[in-house]
Amino acid sequence: MTEVLKLALDDINEATVIDKVLILSLMPSLYTARLEIDGQTFLLTEKGTSIRRPSAEALKRVLSRAQVAEYRMIHSSAYDEMIGQGIKVENQMDVPA
């Protein structure tokens, strides 16, 4: 199992260059973020745990001091599970944020 790289919000400043921010929709009104920097993916953390905010815009605000090239919103649907499908089908939407 690959260890997830973590980057603390406190370590991000004006000199931080982020290639892409992936805003992950966990459920209505709950979002977290992964950062792509120089080909590596990091889980954005705050006080030792993954950062969580009530909106995508709230996550963008906490990253406003960094230099971000692109924001993407990733939403995974639980529809297959809700209707009792036996096989999980990849059902993910990826849009500019």
pLDDT of residue 63: 97
Question: Cβ distance 62 to 55 under 8 Å?
Answer: no
Amino acid 96: pLDDT = 79
pLDDT value, residue 62 = 96
Strands 20-27, 71-76: pairing is: parallel
d(CA 27, CA 97): 16
- Give pLDDT, residue 75: 81
Flag whether the pTM goes above 0.95: no
Q: Which pLDDT score, from 0 to 100, does residue 16 have? A: 97
Which regions of the chain are under pLDDT 50?
none
pLDDT for 71 equals 97
